[in-house]
């Protein structure tokens, strides 16, 4: 008689996917984990099993045959639903190679300067994958949505909090409708159906934009004239002046993070793993990634091993300009490597990296002057100290 309410009292985390990953867990419930940096940087396309997982709520368990995507256009009152079969058969299949990066990536480095609130991410809360599905601009244009500078696209997930409120975030309509924005309703990641942790069966991939807007388990799209009113859009994923504390913060005063700023991270060697590789002539091999949001290309990664007295451009691995990669559409990351000379008797070396993007924006030097209470957009120079003996 009371079966439904008894079911509802079950542990919402009883049905998480089986995970068998060599990950660094940042929280078990909800599940949040990142790969070891030395592994992350071994692949230009991040394998799914090395792609960080950032869940805000329990993972939905969706039957693909019952799956529905609802679309509501506030201005015209149009409301429609699509099955997965509709998405796969009624629209051209398209893809993008893009980074998804958590707004809290590298937070632990900012936390080291002064405590911040949030999951203690290292530099592994990002990955670079091929996402395939339906172009959101095609989809919305087919629905009759017209360009409008004031509208937003609200994206709701099937993941819900204890009050049954779904995870939700929004992006500007201009980004969604821009053919060069490359927003994808993705049902595949690296050529395979999304797995449950990555949003099965559908994730909205918003290249160049912070991970929290790239809603997984996508259930509903609403076109309207306001941003999402969710906690994550309004009272999280925003940055403030270093002097703003939890007594004085006013979340309404800062814009929601959309495009991510330029960043880089030294991934190998990693002080936590003591794996140092040397070239035949005794140089230390250093590798990392660099990325800038908004479609901006990484044009240079400068590395120093003498506290900035001399800077040395690293070798870059990145997608070449072509039909789908061009000025303003560099949504993939750049891997980089450089060999650092060390003396025979040297005990210690400190290495810093800083990336420069196609707008000639560069990383700030320190976390001290960009510190913010939430520890987001932590993009200062990457610095590692390595004990050589």
143, 365, 383, 388: residue in contact with a second copy (rule CB under 8 A): 365
* Binding-residue pattern over the window 217 to 256 for Mo ion, x denoting contact by CB under 5 A: ----------------------------------------
Q: Is 243 in the site for a second copy (CB under 8 A)?
A: yes
Given a contact cutoff of 8 angstroms between Cβ atoms, the answer to whether 169 and 221 are in contact is no
Q: Is 288 in the site for Mo ion (CB under 5 A)?
A: no
Cβ at position 211, least distance to Mo ion in Å: 4
132, 212, 228, 382: residue in contact with Mo ion (rule CB under 5 A): 212
Binding residues for Mo ion, rule CB under 5 A, total 4
* Count, residues in the chain: 389
Cβ neighbours, 10 Å, residue 247: 5
Taking alpha carbons only, the member of 225, 226, 208, 206 closest to residue 216 is 206
Cβ at position 245, least distance to a second copy in Å: 11
Q: Is 133 in the site for a second copy (CB under 8 A)?
A: no
Answer with the entry of a second copy, Mo ion, none that 356 interacts with (C-beta below 5 to 8 A by kind): a second copy
Q: Is 318 in the site for a second copy (CB under 8 A)?
A: no
Given a contact cutoff of 8 angstroms between Cβ atoms, the answer to whether 187 and 133 are in contact is yes
Tell me whether residue 32 or residue 264 sits nearer to Mo ion (CB atom): 32
Given a contact cutoff of 8 angstroms between Cβ atoms, the answer to whether 177 and 145 are in contact is yes
Question: Which residues have C-beta within 8 Å of that of residue 194, sequence separation ≥ 6?
Answer: 186, 187, 188, 200, 201, 202, 203, 216
Helical ranges in 120-203 per DSSP H: 136-142, 173-177
141, 195, 235, 358: residue in contact with a second copy (rule CB under 8 A): 358
Answer with the entry of a second copy, Mo ion, none that 27 interacts with (C-beta below 5 to 8 A by kind): none
Answer with the entry of Mo ion, a second copy, none that 114 interacts with (C-beta below 5 to 8 A by kind): none
Given a contact cutoff of 8 angstroms between Cβ atoms, the answer to whether 269 and 339 are in contact is no
Tell me whether residue 10 or residue 255 sits nearer to a second copy (CB atom): 255
Taking alpha carbons only, the member of 376, 371, 356 closest to residue 264 is 356
Q: Is 346 in the site for a second copy (CB under 8 A)?
A: no
Name the strands in the sheet holding 166-172, side by side, starting at the edge strand that comes first in the sequence.
Answer: 78-82, 69-73, 218-224, 152-160, 166-172
Binding residues for a second copy, rule CB under 8 A, total 58
Answer with the entry of Mo ion, a second copy, none that 211 interacts with (C-beta below 5 to 8 A by kind): Mo ion
Tell me whether residue 69 or residue 209 sits nearer to a second copy (CB atom): 209
260/273 Cα distance (integer angstroms): 28
Q: Is 327 in the site for a second copy (CB under 8 A)?
A: yes
Cβ at position 165, least distance to a second copy in Å: 26
Question: Which residues have C-beta within 8 Å of that of residue 306, sequence separation ≥ 6?
Answer: none
Q: Is 122 in the site for Mo ion (CB under 5 A)?
A: no
Q: How far is CA 39 from the centre of its chain?
A: 18
Residue nearest Mo ion (C-beta atom):
102
Q: Is 268 in the site for Mo ion (CB under 5 A)?
A: no
122, 157, 293, 375: residue in contact with a second copy (rule CB under 8 A): 293
153/134 Cα distance (integer angstroms): 16
Cβ at position 214, least distance to a second copy in Å: 16
Q: Is 364 in the site for a second copy (CB under 8 A)?
A: yes
Q: Is 368 in the site for a second copy (CB under 8 A)?
A: yes
Q: Is 141 in the site for a second copy (CB under 8 A)?
A: no
Given a contact cutoff of 8 angstroms between Cβ atoms, the answer to whether 36 and 124 are in contact is yes
Q: Is 211 in the site for Mo ion (CB under 5 A)?
A: yes
- Burial, 347: exposed, middle or buried (Cβ in 10 Å; 0-12, 13-18, 19+)? exposed
Cβ neighbours, 10 Å, residue 224: 17
Taking alpha carbons only, the member of 218, 221, 242 closest to residue 171 is 221
Percent helix, strand, coil in the chain, to 5, is: 15, 35, 55
Cβ at position 37, least distance to a second copy in Å: 23
- Give the footprint of Mo ion on this chain (CB under 5 A): 102-103, 211-212
Residues that bind a second copy (CB under 8 A): 147, 149-150, 172, 174-175, 178-180, 239, 241-243, 254-255, 257-262, 293-294, 296-297, 299-300, 302, 308, 310-313, 321-324, 326-329, 354, 356, 358-366, 368-370, 376-377, 379
């Amino acid at each position: 008689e009371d079966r439904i309410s008894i079911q509802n009292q079950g542990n919402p985390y009883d049905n998480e996917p089986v995970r068998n990953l060599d990950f660094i867990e940042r929280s078990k419930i909800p599940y949040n984990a990142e790969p070891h940096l030395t592994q992350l940087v071994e692949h230009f396309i991040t394998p799914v099993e090395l792609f960080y997982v950032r869940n805000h709520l329990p993972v939905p368990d969706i039957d693909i045959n019952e799956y529905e995507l609802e679309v509501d256009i506030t201005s015209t009152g149009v409301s429609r639903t699509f099955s997965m079969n509709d998405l796969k058969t009624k629209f051209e299949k398209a893809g993008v190679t893009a980074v998804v990066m958590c707004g809290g990536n590298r937070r632990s480095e900012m936390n080291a300067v002064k405590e911040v609130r949030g999951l203690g991410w290292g530099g592994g809360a990002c990955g670079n994958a091929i996402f395939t599905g339906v172009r959101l601009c095609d989809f919305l244009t087919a629905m009759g949505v017209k360009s409008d500078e004031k509208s937003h696209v609200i994206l709701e997930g099937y993941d819900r909090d204890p009050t049954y409120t779904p995870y939700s975030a929004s992006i500007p309509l201009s980004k969604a409708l821009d053919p060069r924005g490359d927003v994808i309703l993705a049902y595949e990641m690296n050529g395979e159906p999304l797995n449950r942790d990555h949003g099965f069966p559908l994730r909205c991939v918003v290249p160049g934009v912070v991970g929290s807007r790239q809603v997984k388990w996508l259930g509903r799209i609403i076109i309207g004239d306001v941003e999402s009113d969710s906690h994550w859009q309004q009272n999280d994923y925003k940055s403030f002046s270093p002097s703003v504390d939890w007594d004085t913060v006013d979340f309404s005063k800062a814009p929601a993070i959309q495009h991510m700023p330029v960043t880089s991270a030294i991934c190998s060697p990693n002080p936590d793993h003591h794996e140092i590789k040397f070239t035949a002539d005794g140089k230390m091999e250093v590798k990392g990634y660099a990325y800038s949001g908004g479609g901006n290309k990484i044009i240079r990664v400068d590395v120093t091993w003498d506290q900035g007295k001399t800077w040395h451009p690293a070798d870059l691995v990145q997608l070449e300009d072509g039909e789908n990669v061009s000025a303003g559409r560099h949504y993939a990351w750049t891997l980089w490597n450089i060999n650092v000379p060390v003396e025979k008797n040297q005990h210690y070396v400190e290495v810093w990296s800083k990336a420069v993007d196609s707008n000639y924006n560069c990383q700030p030097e320190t976390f001290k002057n960009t510190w913010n209470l939430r520890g987001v957009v932590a993009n200062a120079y990457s610095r590692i100290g390595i004990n050589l003996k």
